[in-house]
Amino acid sequence: MAEIPQVTLYTDGACSGNPGPGGWGVLLKFRNHRKELSGSERETTNNRMELTAAVNAFQALKEPCQVDIYTDSEYLKKGITEWIHNWKLLGWRRGSPGKTRALANADLWKHLDQVTSEHEVSWHWVRGHAGHPENERVDTLAREAMKKG
| CATH code of 138's domain | 3.30.420.10
Per-residue pLDDT tens over the stretch 9-45: 999 999 999 899 999 999 999 999 999 999 999 999 9
Domain for residue 48, yes or no?
yes
Per-residue pLDDT tens over the stretch 81-140: 999 999 999 999 999 888 999 999 999 999 999 999 999 999 999 998 888 999 999 999
Q: Which residues contact 32 (CB under 8 A, 6 or more apart)?
A: none
Beta strand pairing call for 120-125 and 66-71: parallel
Domain for residue 133, yes or no?
yes
Name the nearest CA neighbour of 118 among 53, 63, 60: 63
Neighbours of 101 (CB within 10 A): 9
**Cβ–Cβ < 8 Å for 14, 22:** yes
- Region of 74 please: left (phi>0), alpha (psi -120 to 50) or beta: alpha
Domain total in the chain? 1
1 band by pLDDT with thresholds 50, 70 and 90: low
Domain for residue 1, yes or no?
no
Full residue range of the structural domain in which residue 91 is found? 6-148
Domain for residue 25, yes or no?
yes
Q: Which residues contact 71 (CB under 8 A, 6 or more apart)?
A: 10, 11, 12, 50, 53, 54, 77, 123, 124, 125, 126
143 band by pLDDT with thresholds 50, 70 and 90: very high
| pLDDT in the model for residue 149 | 74
Catalytic residues: 12-13, 50, 72, 129, 139
